[in-house]
Amino acid sequence: MRSKMIKSGLERVPHRALLYATGIPQTEMDKPFIGVATSFTDLIPGHIGMRDLERFIEKGVHTGGGYPFFFGVPGICDGIAMGHKGMHYSLASRELIADIVETVAEGHRLDGLVLLTNCDKITPGMLMAAARLNIPSIVVTAGPMLSGHHRGRRLNLTSDTFEAVGKYKKGVIDDDELKALEVCACPGAGSCQGMYTANTMACVTEALGMSLPGCAAVPAVMAEKRRIAFASGKRIVELVKKNITPSKILTPDAFHNAITVDLALGGSTNTALHIPAVAHEAGVKLPLETFDIISKQTPHIANMIPGGSHYMEDLYHAGGIPAVLKQLRQLLKPNPTVLGRDILDIADAATVMDSEVIRPMDKAYHKQGGIAILKGNLAPQGAVVKQTAVSKNMMKFEGAAKVYDSEEAAMKAVLAGEITPGDVVVIRYEGPKGGPGMREMLSPTSAIAGMGLSESVALITDGRFSGGTRGPCIGHVSPEAMEGGPIAFIRNGDRIRIDITKRTLELLVSADELAKRQVVWKKPEPKIKRGWLSRYSKLVTSAGTGAVMNSE
């Protein structure tokens, strides 16, 4: 055990004295030391129920024969951070979380880790730490929120609050309806109800084999989630005893399976950042084009909100991720999991309880998966779109650019009525370096949808989108504007052509003209010059690489 380095031998007398000061009984000192990294906070709905799950993890660790030590990691709610300075910190916090878990686990020589997580950047941050440390680890995602209810219909955060802003501005809903939606859309604990980033990453984690079967879709408030927490605490001790480390699970085949499930679910475009980042820590090469290769082979079999109509609770009742694996069985590759069973065995043992929520591949909602990777003179290193959330008549679009150098400027223009049918809204200097932190653009995209423009207006950005975004919204444009990418040279009125079917994103300006614009372009001053974000902006790489940190 790694923990022998802090508790065995004559020279460790002071170490043992300090450990005894924590209250650990002498009878427990020889047991595996299990770190429980918890992202509990009162600030995030997806995390407020974690105190309960912590208790059951603790019970499980003791039952399994280990001794648990809890430590905290920070969490940011993307919904609350949206649309102001706070969103600069969201993606960047992924690196902090990975570093904190690494620091505590290495500093105290922990034998294994239970990673209690839920929301957008916290789950990938913890997975990155597990891959980097390569000590036995198991992930517990705290579960999705139940749907809200108002006047006989179900509600979710994105379409019933963010898009409500545009609807209210247009006069579609009144003050009373707006206030009712605020109160009713999010009824309690859990990650937001659809296939947004938090729940997408929970599903990806389970498909990777890093959490127990069924963990991703079980709602936060259910007793079954407690039982999974207990079983995970018990299982981590067995993983330590058998030395089953993440490197034995996070193989190239595991990432193939995870991307396949992600695309079949129509998951968040943010997975094109997070899955490559986890693969990077695991030493697995995963170019952005992999998503497109797998997408063309993977049918979209679950029509989840925001692009579809089903909620996470529907996915749970239909059989959860094991049932998704069963429907995708022929596309998956054998790979071990933290359960100790192969992912294909889990698929074979599953039951599909509702074949409308989780359709067989021959009755898929779309022939291809959720994400498409676009390239062209506007995005030489790639851009990302959730194609299953785009209507058929917007898969090809050409329009005139309206260019904004920040999200705030674009949002002001949208609410002022400056955006009209036929426009391509361009939001730049919001990439990993330029943001810094690659802010999500849910506010302007939701406002555009709420104002009824999602069938006549496109949006492109070097920033990113929430998993709740729908419509022809193209993000992760690489290279970003701050790096002098072509998006920096767009001018108002330039024609832009989008063809998702052909995977192209073109600025209809001659190469000679672009070269002239590049010569006169001047790199702007950083938006943030103090604090750790200023350091982050100097080290972070492009969205096309997963926005990982440059360690050279």
Query: Any idea which residues carry the catalytic annotation?
Result: 466
Question: Per DSSP, what are the bridge partners of residue 497?
Answer: 398, 506
Query: Is the separation of the CB atoms in 135 and 105 below 8 Å?
Result: yes
Rounded Cα distance, 77 and 119, in Å: 7
Put the strands of the sheet holding 33-38 in their side by side order.
67-72, 33-38, 112-117, 137-141
C-alpha distances (whole Å) from 333 to each of 295, 299, 343, 345 are 16, 16, 8, 11
Rounded Cα distance, 383 and 371, in Å: 10
Closest CA to 217 of 185, 233, 195: 195
Angle at 439 between CA 473 and CA 303, to 5 degrees: 40
Question: Per DSSP, what are the bridge partners of residue 116?
Answer: 38, 140
Residue 29 neighbours by CB under 8 Å, 6+ apart: 7, 16, 19
Rounded Cα distance, 47 and 49, in Å: 5
CA dihedral (402, 405, 407, 408) positive or negative: negative
| Intra-chain end-to-end CA distance of the chain, in Å | 32
Rounded Cα distance, 198 and 216, in Å: 10
With H, G, I as helix, E, B as strand and everything else as coil, classify residue 376.
Answer: strand
Rounded Cα distance, 222 and 298, in Å: 32
Closest CA to 87 of 391, 510, 308, 407: 407
* Residue 121, burial from CB neighbour count under 10 angstroms (0-12, 13-18, 19+): buried
Query: Is the separation of the CB atoms in 386 and 158 below 8 Å?
Result: no
Rounded Cα distance, 213 and 339, in Å: 8
152: left (phi over 0), alpha (psi -120 to 50) or beta: left
Closest CA to 463 of 489, 445, 490: 445
Residue 237 neighbours by CB under 8 Å, 6+ apart: 32, 34, 61, 64, 65, 66, 112
Alpha helices, DSSP H, located in 266-342: 271-282, 289-295, 312-317, 320-327
